Structure 1
């Protein structure tokens, strides 16, 4: 049976088509210009591809809604999925940290297995509306990464690996002073802080290089994309490229972003960085990369709604990008980065993942969501 979304401003890779989109058996079958009132009348709203989020930390929050309170993992997955759908995200890479220093309770091996098993159970039962994958964020200096990651990587929803290093004094945390202030509040003396920093440096020297190769080998064996997280320097990018990294996620300097593009990597910035007007860590603003004409993509990081807002912020105001290019930053660009050739654009033959959107009272309002042709929101 063929369904129709009519009277829509359909955002295709070639521009906006005012008309109707037809779909059947979960796939887009046609896009036609001209007025029609058949099927669902979209009342002139935009119709954009389903948004693809390659990095969201949102799932953990529903599993551990408060300190020391863990929630049923299947229930947590359902709530998280509903939030994603409500803001137009139809493909979700749930990012989970492996080997993080001072790991939160959700990031212990036991809980990582519980959480991913719950996500898989919910997906297999058909109670999730979006298409979920797992993004394993791998702390390269970690002593436990090589032990923890292999069984986790066998989770059937695994879709992406990324390399990261959250050692204070470099990359995302170039300004280590806030760590020192936090540690002083914990009662550490200056000698304690110096000892902790020395221990962190020693751990980097011991583990970073072998762990990066270890993760890269797993990603290669599974034929899955590999990202690098929070690169600061050209040398960081060159090292990432040597391991087969194809996605530069949240580069913290303009120079690193430029180097990533020169190496053919897809640069992904945080949606909140653009919407808030800068990075909370004082790193390069996403707006600087846009101003320089750099073609980048966005991930939600910690605010799923930021992605649909990014698309329309870029199409309006100071940038005024063509709507199709603005929308591509949260649909086509992440699809290409993840090698998802069946989605990310409204063209015949792609998945019928679609979002109906309008601007109203200064806000971007999602008015309908379809996943593989089924209305889910």
Structure 2
């Protein structure tokens, strides 16, 4: 299968080329200045690489659209995939939590297996358009992680592991007031709250270090990337580095982000953090890291469209990054973090994952999507 896209502004790693992009046999075969007499007229729109999202919680939301309501997992995967394609995401790491305490129905062991079965079934049947992998988010203090993770880790779509600790009082949840307010609404007394905090601290002491070593060993054995989630301190980063972590995902302080870069880690921030103007948890704004000159990447976290908006916001008036640098934050940077050297840039020989984009009245509109050279949207 071959295709030529002409009359386009093509965002390459070296700058923007006004001309034509050709694809053949699933890869980009040529990028040339000037328009081609043949091919599909892109009417001056941008062509960017397919976006790579290494962390999205979106699949779980379609599986459990409301509390207590579970949807058919294959259907959930199809709807999720369609949303990804509609916002230019062509490679997606579906993040699924293993061992999260106090979690919803979608994160229970039986539901995790049902959801993963549905995703694998949809992929095997050719129902999905994006390239899907699984990002296992591993709650290090969990009592059940060591039992639950091994059979999940064996699933063929496994592509990334991350180490998490959502214990109140540190990392993402440094501010405990929101928990205390929520627990009081549940009817807990002050003594109950103190007991719960003590129990969670004890769980960290009992499991955290051991589970971090356990997950790291699995990731390294499978030769898959390992990320650390919500690091707060330099000590957190140093501990992550000791486990072979190469991705600092959503560091919550500038100090942690700077330490991660010093250790050679790829820093990945949440797209909603940049677009909303800050973290909903009160953590370091992604904008502060950009303005400090730090080269970072983005993941969608909980809003898949945020990645497309990040790229064009960074190339806009406020930050004024060159288009190729802005686009790289959602394409090349995550590709490098994941070791995906076959995609993430519009370069001859790379996969034909291409997104046609137009800006209209302040909005960024996807007008075409190609995955491995085939038009899918």
TM-score with structure 1 length normalisation?
A: 0.99
Structure 2 residue aligned with 1:330: 330
CA distance in 1, matches of 2:2, 2:63: 39
Structure 2 residue aligned with 1:296: 296
Note the alpha carbon deviations across 1:307-355, whole angstroms, 9 max, x for none. Answer: 0000000000210000000000000000000000100000000000000
- Structure 1 counterpart SS, 2:182: helix
1:60 and 2:40 correspond = no
Structure 1 residue aligned with 2:227: 227
Structure 2 residue aligned with 1:179: 179
Structure 2 residue aligned with 1:102: 102
CA distance in 1, matches of 2:124, 2:226: 26
| Per-residue deviation, 1:233 | 0.1
Structure 2 residue aligned with 1:346: 346
- What's the RMSD between the two structures over aligned residues? 0.6
- Structure 2 counterpart SS, 1:248: strand
CA distance in 1, matches of 2:126, 2:338: 23
Is the CA contact (8 Å cut-off) linking 1:89 and 1:130 kept in structure 2?
yes
Greater mean deviation of Cα atoms: 148-157 or 30-39: 30-39
CA distance in 2, matches of 1:177, 1:2: 57
| Per-residue deviation, 1:35 | 2.3
Greater mean deviation of Cα atoms: 1-10 or 233-242: 1-10
CA distance in 2, matches of 1:345, 1:96: 27
- Structure 2 counterpart SS, 1:204: helix
Is the CA contact (8 Å cut-off) linking 2:2 and 2:373 kept in structure 1?
no
CA distance in 1, matches of 2:148, 2:168: 23
After TM superposition, the runs of 4+ consecutive aligned structure 1 residues lying more than 2 A away are none
1:200 and 2:206 correspond = no
Note the alpha carbon deviations across 1:284-316, whole angstroms, 9 max, x for none. Answer: 000000000000000000000000000000000
TM-score with structure 2 length normalisation?
A: 0.99
CA distance in 2, matches of 1:229, 1:251: 7
Structure 2 residue aligned with 1:165: 165
CA distance in 2, matches of 1:32, 1:361: 29
CA distance in 2, matches of 1:11, 1:38: 20
Note the alpha carbon deviations across 1:242-268, whole angstroms, 9 max, x for none. Answer: 000000000000000000000000000
Is the CA contact (8 Å cut-off) linking 1:135 and 1:162 kept in structure 2?
yes
Structure 1 residue aligned with 2:146: 146
Is the CA contact (8 Å cut-off) linking 1:7 and 1:37 kept in structure 2?
no
CA distance in 1, matches of 2:190, 2:68: 30
| Per-residue deviation, 1:38 | 1.6
1:254 and 2:254 correspond = yes
Structure 1 residue aligned with 2:287: 287
CA distance in 2, matches of 1:317, 1:178: 36
**Structure 2 stretches of 5 or more lacking a match?**
none
Q: Residues 130-145 of structure 1: matches in 2 within 5 Å?
A: 130-145=130-145
CA distance in 2, matches of 1:152, 1:17: 44
CA distance in 2, matches of 1:37, 1:259: 51
| Per-residue deviation, 1:37 | 3.7
Count of residues in Structure 1 that have an aligned counterpart in Structure 2: 377
Structure 2 residue aligned with 1:93: 93
Structure 2 residue aligned with 1:2: 2
**Structure 1 stretches of 5 or more lacking a match?**
none
